[in-house]
Amino acid sequence: MSSIFTYDNYFTPYVNKFAKVTLDTDRRTKLATVIGNRIKEREKSKGRKLFEQEITIYRKTYMQTAGDLVLEQHLGLYNIVDYDKIFDDNRISFLNQAAPKKNIDVVTFNYGLFPMVYKKTYRKSIFICMLSKTDFYICGVGTPNIIDMYSRSDLLVSDYYKARGKSGFYGFERLTPISSNLGDFIELIS
């Protein structure tokens, strides 16, 4: 009998292992202001309010950037995230910009959904769960082998992403926790 893949079975039992981080007011306010200003610019250039589907990109940008900011805050770092570049078309994690030889993904995902990964992964990933606009779990680091072994395309809701080689990661118990000690963190992602 195969097990049922539910969030309650594969995520919830491990939350005590995760670092819970509340994004500080300065970072959160700065991010919200940058995104809010971009939305106002787009509305002004279009001469109308943006449609809901147009707003989705800003929600995704908030989530992705907030993941980087949460990691920055957890490690006691400042100014790793360049707010002027959060809308770049070829955006890469700010962690990779700060430590370019590490080449690691930061996967930020909404609570209640399995995080999206490629069916075949070639680098380590840090998984960060967004509980709300302010609260996050840093779930840990997964190696390519762990990510590939513990992902399934049927965990994704969208056929669009399945068709593009994505799957849902469920191996939260296999992730290595992330210490707030910068030296330990650098060793972990090496």
Ramachandran sector of residue 186 (left: φ over 0; alpha: ψ -120 to 50; beta: rest) = alpha
| Residue 2 falls inside a structural domain | no
| Residue 75 falls inside a structural domain | yes
pLDDT digits (tens, 9 = 90+) for 103-139: 788 999 999 999 999 989 998 999 999 999 999 999 9
Question: Which domain does 39 fall in, by range?
Answer: 7-189
Number of domains in the chain: 1
Q: CA quadruple 27, 82, 91, 10: dihedral positive or negative?
A: negative
User: Which DSSP letter does residue 154 get?
Assistant: G
Q: Which residues contact 95 (CB under 8 A, 6 or more apart)?
A: 68, 71, 80, 102, 104, 106, 126
What pTM, to 2 d.p., does this model score?
Answer: 0.89
| Residue 181 falls inside a structural domain | yes
| Residue 1 falls inside a structural domain | no
Q: Which residues of 2-41 are buried (b: 16+ CB within 10 A; e: fewer)?
A: eeeeeeeebbeebeeebbebebeeebbeebeebbeeebee
Residues recorded for the chain = 190
Percent of the chain with pLDDT over 70: 91
